[in-house]
């Protein structure tokens, strides 16, 4: 997954930083839920479409997105949220998805939610490692 701008935790609640990651894509590209959850917001904020999904004690945010979901919709990982809209400030290409993650009012790095799994070698019949 390409990242055009990484997460930068702000030192204070209203201080400078980047409260998510920007992922370059094409305008109109489908945006999908990162995990199971319930849509807690879908609509414009400051003129940009935003979708927020609540996943237990954390929330993911997606913007700028033309929502295809409504508040209260229950989603599964990979379900369609909407379409990416062009014009995200600071994006080096026509469109970037700004993907955020919050626990309460604390911003977290959404990319840190992916667990990397070390490769394993499994024995074949006869004890050979593959």
Q: How far is CA 82 from CA 15, 24, 120, in A?
A: 30, 16, 37
Which domains occur in the chain, in start order?
Answer: 21-110 (2.70.70.10)
Separation of alpha carbons 46 and 66, rounded Å: 14
**Tokens describing residue 110:** 């959404």
Whole-structure pTM value: 0.82
Query: pLDDT band for position 114 (50/70/90)?
Result: low
Q: Taking all residues of the chain, what is their mean pLDDT, rounded to a whole number? A: 86
> For residue 130, what pLDDT is reported?
47
Separation of alpha carbons 4 and 9, rounded Å: 16
Separation of alpha carbons 62 and 52, rounded Å: 6
- Residues 41-99: tens digit of each pLDDT: 999 999 999 999 999 999 999 999 999 999 999 999 999 999 999 977 777 888 999 99
The helix/strand/coil state of 81 is strand
Separation of alpha carbons 19 and 35, rounded Å: 19
């Amino acid at each position: 997954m390409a990242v055009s701008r990484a997460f930068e935790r702000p030192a204070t609640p209203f201080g400078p930083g980047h409260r998510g990651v920007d992922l370059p894509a094409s305008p109109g590209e489908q945006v999908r839920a990162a995990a199971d959850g319930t849509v807690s917001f879908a609509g414009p904020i400051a003129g940009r479409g935003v979708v927020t999904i609540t996943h237990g004690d954390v929330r993911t945010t997606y913007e700028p997105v033309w929502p295809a979901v409504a508040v209260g919709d229950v989603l599964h990982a990979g379900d369609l949220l909407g379409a990416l809209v062009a014009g995200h400030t600071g994006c080096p290409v026509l469109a970037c998805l700004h993907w955020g993650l919050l626990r309460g009012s604390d911003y977290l790095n959404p990319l840190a939610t992916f667990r990397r799994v070390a490769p394993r070698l499994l024995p074949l019949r006869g004890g050979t490692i593959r």
